[in-house]
Amino acid sequence: MRLGQNPGNQSSGISRRRLLKLAAVVSGGVFIGGIAWHLRPAPDHDQPRMTASEAFSRAAAHEITLVDIRTPREWRSTGVPVGSVQLDMRREDFVRSLARAVNGDRAAPIALICARGVRSARMVRALSEAGFSQILDVPEGMLGSRAGPGWIAGNLPVARWQG
């Protein structure tokens, strides 16, 4: 029986097989688009970069403030880097909150980490323009990217988010 077929056997609809094929094409396009979104390159910037391992070591030595700029949903899902400050980059008061995290010292070294390095690269540029002079990027992020395996695959310590 065809979808949309009326009881009088007059077909006015689309077959179930054709509908499933159409759904596969549409969802495949969404899936491929989603992959492309995740694999898109991070915007270029001229600020220093560091590996996740370097960020962990320097944060543990109190040489930098490591800031996880992902969302609370992501923090819940994967945990947060040990030694990091969590500040959702979408917050309206993000810049003020970041300044508070470094006691108002816009020259303090701050390393940004996100999932795969795209958002951190964007925020490195934006914060440099906002007057922060030592913004560092962790381009491999928590989940890995072209820049490296990431915090989690690097077996660096992760804490449960306390939010």
Q: Could you read off the pLDDT of 81-140 as tens digits, one per residue?
A: 999 999 999 999 999 999 999 999 999 999 999 999 989 999 998 999 999 999 999 999
Q: Does residue 46 belong to any structural domain of this protein?
A: no
**68-96: pLDDT as tens digits:** 999 999 999 999 999 999 999 999 999 99
Question: Is there a single domain that holds both residue 56 and residue 134?
Answer: yes
1, 19, 130, 143, 161 from 112: Cα distances, Å: 57, 45, 15, 14, 17
Strand pairing class (158-159; 80-81): antiparallel
Would you say residue 38 has pLDDT above 80?
no
Residues 102 and 138 in one domain: yes
Domain check: are 66 and 31 in the same one? Answer: no
Q: How far is CA 135 from the centre of its chain?
A: 17
Question: 136 and 67 in one domain?
Answer: yes
pLDDT for 82:
96
Closest CA to 139 of 14, 35, 45: 45
Same-domain pairing of 67 and 121: yes
**Domains contained in the chain, number:** 2
Confidence check: pLDDT of 14 > 80: no
Task: Look at residue 16 in the predicted model and tell me its pLDDT.
Answer: 58
Q: pTM of the full predicted structure?
A: 0.74
Residue-range definition of the domain harbouring residue 9: 1-40
Mean pLDDT within 43-71: 91
> 45 in a domain, yes or no?
no
Across the beta sheet with 135-137, the strand order is: 84-86, 65-68, 110-113, 135-137
Q: Are 56 and 124 within one domain?
A: yes
Cβ atoms 109, 63 nearer than 8 A: yes
Structure tokens at 12: 């006015």
In 46-119, the DSSP E strands lie at 65-68, 80-81, 84-86, 110-113
